[in-house]
Structure formats: C-alpha cells, structure tokens
C-alpha cells in the first residue's frame, strides 16, 4: 500500500476533515491528491465528485434519493423487453454485452457473471440517459475503479477472493447506483471526450505531443523521425484513463489524484501522461517505428508498485507547476 496514504498523521487529517458537519472540499482535495486511506476512499470519492453533499446532515437523505432514482431508471430502461427498445438501443445493449467480458480481463473478479451484469446495467442506463454520446468503448473501463471502491465497503480482503453472489439485491443496487452517479459526475467534466469523433481526446493528444516536445526534445524528435503518431498509442490512454496500462491494484491510487483534480482533470491528464511516457525516454530512442508501436502497446508496467506511480505523479506535478503558467506552447 502507498505508505503516504496510510501513515497515521495523514489518517488523522482525513478523519478531522470528514468528521465536521461541513466538509471543506478544497482541503479534502489537497489531502486526497497524495492518496486516500483505502477504507475512507468510498466516502471521500463520493464527496470529491459532488455526488454526496459536503453537509453531513443532508448526506444520507441525498444518497437514499439518488439510489432510488437509479433503481427507477433501471426499471424504466433496462428491465424491459427488447420489443420496447429501438434498433439503436438494441445494438448499444449488444455492444455493451460484448465489451463487459473484455473489461479488465486479467482480474478474475470481473469475469464473474454477476459482476458483468452489474457493469452492463450501469453502462446501459448511463448511455440511455446521455444520448449526446451514448455508449462508447472505453467507458466500460471507467466504471471498474468505482465498482471496486464501493464494493470494498461490503467485502473484505483481496479482490482475488471477492464474490458478490451472496450479496443482497438491495446492496448490489446501492453499489451500482453509486457507480452510476459517480461515473456521470466524472464524465460531465469531459463530455466531448466521448461524443462523435471524440474531439476532446483529439485535443488532449495534440497537447500531449506539444508538451513532450517542450520537455524532452530528443525523444520527441525521434518519434517524429520514425513517423509515430501520438494517436496510435495515447488515444487509448485518454479513452480509458490509463486503466489498461498499469496493474489494476494501482488504479484506485491513481484515481485519488484524478478525482482530487476535479474540473482541472482533463488538462492535468496531459502532464500525467507525459510523465508516464517519458519514464521510457531512453528506451524509446533506441527503437524503430514498429518496435515503438509494440513497446507502447505493451508497456513493461506489470511489476510496478506504488513507488513507480508516485514518481510519475510527482513529476507531473512539478512539470505542471513549471509549464502551466506559460501555456502558449499548448495552444492549438
């Protein structure tokens, strides 16, 4: 576990921030940026995303109402016969059903039929309620950190030993609802990432290329000389927020920082991904086009620990401090 997230002084600070009648979100963001103690993560994430209100008196009532609203949506849109769906809706549901088994394939927990059913319900309900984008491949990955964090309130031990087959329908529905609303809040801040042609992602990939050129000219020139386009590898990074690139046990720690960034997240992703890419600056400069494509498709992160991730994040933070005040280099 990341030591910073669990040291007793930090736990005390989190406890103090969360125990007041009114949570000061700015202070919670500052704390959460460096990692949230795992058992506090469900509450902290709900607060950071604005799903749970900062006022503790209102919190329980708001969550109860939102969970019932999700249940109504499922009954209205998902639990209906195909004869009541349009052709587009049937196709969308089919695509989601195909993608769910492919989601985080190396974590056995996500291969359980009931878990895939929950994913399917959350994704289909979200897509129907967000017709501007509908379902886009990649959004299935974005549900997984929420699912694991909100399940951790009910299940103990390692995710490798988890099963939801003994959980009540009510508990599963509450967890799904929390995933649904948190996914909605996250994607509200990056709507044009998933609309037609995904212009938000195209824009950030361009900014990434410009930032890398400014930070590490040699690797930037080498990639250009070899004819490597950033869209060939970085599109997936932005589309799935790195979930497919690092070991799954590190994802929730990474997402502490994502959610702490709040509305500034899309721009900060550019710095995180530049830091991530330049971890392999020396290696990349020795590879030709084909080798680079292969290397970037299968990055050697399988043995990463929290230490490597913290290095990527702290470097991103420093570069953001250096370059973000002079963003002319990132103009389109």
Q: What is the pLDDT of residue 332?
A: 41
Prediction pTM value: 0.95
CATH number at residue 229: 1.10.472.80
Which range (136-145, 205-214, 318-327) has the least confidence?
318-327
Residue at 215 is within a domain? yes
What is the band of 325 on the pLDDT scale with cuts at 50, 70, 90? Answer: confident
Q: Are residues 214 and 116 in the same domain?
A: no
Whole-angstrom Cα distance, residue 19 to residue 14? 8
Give the pLDDT mean for 50-69.
Answer: 98
Say if residue 331's pLDDT is above 60: no
Q: Are residues 92 and 209 in the same domain?
A: no
Residue at 43 is within a domain? no
Q: Cβ(15)–Cβ(7) under 8 Å?
A: no
Whole-angstrom Cα distance, residue 248 to residue 160? 11
Convert the pLDDT of each residue in 176-191 to its tens digit: 999 999 999 999 999 8
Q: Are residues 215 and 309 in the same domain?
A: yes
Residue at 207 is within a domain? yes
Q: What is the pLDDT of residue 326?
A: 66
Q: Are residues 215 and 291 in the same domain?
A: yes
Convert the pLDDT of each residue in 87-122 to its tens digit: 999 999 999 999 999 999 999 999 999 999 999 999
Tell which of 161, 188, 215 closes a domain: 188
Convert the pLDDT of each residue in 189-208 to its tens digit: 998 999 999 999 999 999 99
Q: Where are the alpha helices (DSSP H) in the chain?
A: 3-6, 8-19, 25-32, 41-48, 56-73, 87-99, 113-129, 139-151, 169-188, 199-215, 217-225, 231-240, 251-261, 265-277, 281-284, 289-297, 306-323
Portion of the chain with pLDDT greater than 70, in percent: 96
Q: Are residues 123 and 182 in the same domain?
A: yes
Say if residue 66's pLDDT is above 90: yes
Give the pLDDT mean for 3-7.
Answer: 66
Strand, helix or coil for residue 83: helix
Q: Are residues 283 and 177 in the same domain?
A: no
Residue at 291 is within a domain? yes
| Residue range of the domain that includes 90 | 56-188
Q: Are residues 167 and 240 in the same domain?
A: no
Say if residue 139's pLDDT is above 70: yes
Residue at 28 is within a domain? no
Q: Are residues 114 and 174 in the same domain?
A: yes
CATH number at residue 107: 1.10.8.270
Residue at 312 is within a domain? yes
Residue at 19 is within a domain? no
For helices 169-188 and 139-151, angle between their N-to-C axes, nearest 10 degrees:
130
Tally of domains in the chain:
2
CA 195 to chain centre: 18
Q: What is the pLDDT of residue 4?
A: 63
Convert the pLDDT of each residue in 151-160 to its tens digit: 999 999 999 9
Tell which of 145, 166, 188 closes a domain: 188
Whole-angstrom Cα distance, residue 90 to residue 92? 5
Q: Are residues 183 and 206 in the same domain?
A: no
Q: Are residues 179 and 205 in the same domain?
A: no
Q: Indicate the Cα dihedral angle 130, 131, 137, 142, nearest 10°.
A: 0
Q: What is the pLDDT of residue 6?
A: 64
Q: Are residues 169 and 274 in the same domain?
A: no
Q: Are residues 220 and 297 in the same domain?
A: yes
Tell which of 129, 154, 188 closes a domain: 188
């Amino acid at each position: 576990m990341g030591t910073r997230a669990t040291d007793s002084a930090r736990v005390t600070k989190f406890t103090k921030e969360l125990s007041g009648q009114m949570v000061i979100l700015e202070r919670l963001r500052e704390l959460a940026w460096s990692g949230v103690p795992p058992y506090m993560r469900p509450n902290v994430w709900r607060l950071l995303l604005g799903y749970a209100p900062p006022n503790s008196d209102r919190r329980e009532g708001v969550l109860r109402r939102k969970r019932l609203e999700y249940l109504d949506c499922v009954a209205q849109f998902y639990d209906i016969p195909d004869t009541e769906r349009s052709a587009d809706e049937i196709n969308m549901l089919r695509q989601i059903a195909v993608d769910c088994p492919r989601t985080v394939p190396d974590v056995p927990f996500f291969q359980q039929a009931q878990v895939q059913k929950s994913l399917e319900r959350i994704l289909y309900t979200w897509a129907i309620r967000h017709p501007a984008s509908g379902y886009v491949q990649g959004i299935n990955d974005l549900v997984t950190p929420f699912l694991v964090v909100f399940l951790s309130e009910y299940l103990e031990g390692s995710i490798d030993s988890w099963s939801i087959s003994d959980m009540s329908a009510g508990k599963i529905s509450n967890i799904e609802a929390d995933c649904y609303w948190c996914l909605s809040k996250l994607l509200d801040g990056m709507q044009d990432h998933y609309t037609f042609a995904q212009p938000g992602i195209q824009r950030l990939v361009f900014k990434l290329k410009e930032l890398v050129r400014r930070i590490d000219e040699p690797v930037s020139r080498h990639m250009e000389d070899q004819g490597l386009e950033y869209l060939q590898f970085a599109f997936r990074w932005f589309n799935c927020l790195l979930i497919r690139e690092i070991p799954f046990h590190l994802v929730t720690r990474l997402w502490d920082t994502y959610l702490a960034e709040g509305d500034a997240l899309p721009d900060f992703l550019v710095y995180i991904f530049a830091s991530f890419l330049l971890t392999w600056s020396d290696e990349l400069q020795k590879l030709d086009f084909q080798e680079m494509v292969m290397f970037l498709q299968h990055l050697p992160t399988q043995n990463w620990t929290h230490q490597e991730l913290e290095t990527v994040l702290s470097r991103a933070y420093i570069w953001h401090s250096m370059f973000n005040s002079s963003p002319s280099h990132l103009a389109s």
